[in-house]
Amino acid sequence: MCAENREVRVSKIKDGTVIDHIRSGYALDVVKILGITGHERQVVTIAINVPSKRFRTKDLIKIEGRALNRQEVNRIALIAPRATINIIRGYKVVEKQEVKLPNEIEDIVKCINPTCISNSNEPISAKFTLESEDPLLLKCHYCSYALEKQDVLRQF
Ligand code: CTP
Ligand code: ZN
């Protein structure tokens, strides 16, 4: 029996979402960005620093009975740009999506500069350029303000 079968660390789920290949140590940030407080009814499993073939160790989150919308997937990309999102139905992986962080980030986070035009009454939505993925650094397209991961997490 191979090592994989000898030990099942977290059980398979019937229906829901598995966010896999989250960079070690980032699972709780992903939980925060999804607005999971622990007071919901879903069963949520969070695994931190588990052995991984791809990245030595990884974090992963299993959310039973919940699908993610596009906005939520985009938010995950900000915090965990190499994550894989697996949709599970009837115990089977029916969809696998690698998240991707684009160079231009629109409508996911707000600029933290109160005088930025994207925060005015003008119909201008927030837009950022990705300066660095890890550590996360976004630059506002309009006022050049820099946002770090903590600034992003505070918004959710
Ligand atoms: N998974 C689960 N419940 C299921 C099916 C899969 O929790 N009913 C989890 C697996 O434990 C794994 C992830 O969903 O963490 C993806 O499953 P699978 O595609 O079978 O695993 P791998 O082939 O290892 O995925 P990858 O190629 O993306 O590394
Ligand atoms: Zn701005």
Give the chain's domain count.
Answer: 2
Residue 2 in domain: no
Same domain, 42 and 113: no
What pLDDT is attached to residue 1? 47
| Centre of ligand 2 from the C-alpha of residue 68, in Å | 28
What pLDDT is attached to residue 9? 74
> Residue 153 is inside which H or E element, if any?
helix 149-153
Q: pLDDT in tens for each of the 156 residues of the chain? A: 455 555 667 899 999 999 999 999 999 999 999 999 999 999 999 999 999 988 899 999 999 999 999 999 999 999 999 999 999 999 999 999 999 999 999 999 999 999 999 999 999 999 999 999 999 999 999 999 999 999 999 999
**Strand, helix or coil for residue 4:** helix
CATH number at residue 70: 3.30.70.140
Residue type, 29: D
Q: What is the pTM of this model?
A: 0.90
What pLDDT is attached to residue 10? 85
Residue 77, classified by CB atoms within 10 Å of its CB into exposed (0-12), middle (13-18) or buried (19+), is buried
C-beta 84 within 6 A of ligand 1:
yes
| Centre of ligand 2 from the C-alpha of residue 118, in Å | 6
Same domain, 86 and 22: yes
C-beta 61 within 6 A of ligand 1:
no
Residue 1 in domain: no
**Strand, helix or coil for residue 76:** helix
Same domain, 140 and 113: yes
Residue 85 in domain: yes
> Domain containing 81: what range?
10-98
Same domain, 30 and 93: yes
Angle, alpha carbons 64-69-71 (nearest 5°): 130
C-beta 70 within 6 A of ligand 1:
no
Same domain, 122 and 79: no
Q: What is the pLDDT of residues 1-22, one digit of tens each?
A: 455 555 667 899 999 999 999 9
C-beta 58 within 6 A of ligand 1:
no
